[in-house]
Amino acid sequence: MDRFETQKKIEKVFEKNQDKEELKKNMLNVYSEYAKSQKIKLNENKKIVEAILEGLIRNKEKHGKSYCPCRIVTGNKEEDEKKVCPCFWHMDEIKNMKHCHCNLFTEGKK
């Protein structure tokens, strides 16, 4: 599963009628599936993951898309599209820093 398929699955998760806890659980399932497909991991720190999911939900409510909470939404549609989680830069960041900028995804086992 690539990042675009993941973004589409997350959009479908947002379309369901569900409370916030169910929404976060469903988002986590999609991001976990993506991480496994890419041989990376979700951050093991549950508090960090929780904060990132909250930020993704806030950005979806405020801006209409689940932009990474660590990125500034500028209003430039073309540039901002790269910031939808999983973002354009996350794999390079994992390669270079062992985690993406927002810390949702981390390096997998070698």
Q: Note the pTM of the prediction, 2 decimals.
A: 0.94
Pairing mode of beta strands 105-107, 40-42: antiparallel
For 26-36, the pLDDT digits (tens) are: 999 999 999 99
May I ask the CATH class of domain 3-107?
A: alpha beta
Q: How far apart are CA 48 and CA 16, in angstroms?
A: 24
- Mean pLDDT, all residues of the chain: 96
Cβ neighbours around 15 below 10 Å, total: 7
- For residue 70 the two structure tokens come to 């660590």
Full pLDDT tens readout for the chain, 110 residues: 999 999 999 999 999 999 999 999 999 999 999 999 999 999 999 999 999 999 999 999 999 999 999 999 999 999 999 999 999 999 999 999 999 999 999 998 75
- For residue 69 the two structure tokens come to 């909470």
Cβ atoms of 82 and 89 within 8 Å: the answer is yes
Q: How far apart are CA 52 and CA 61, in angstroms?
A: 14
For 4-29, the pLDDT digits (tens) are: 999 999 999 999 999 999 999 999 99
Domain ranges (residues) in the chain: 3-107
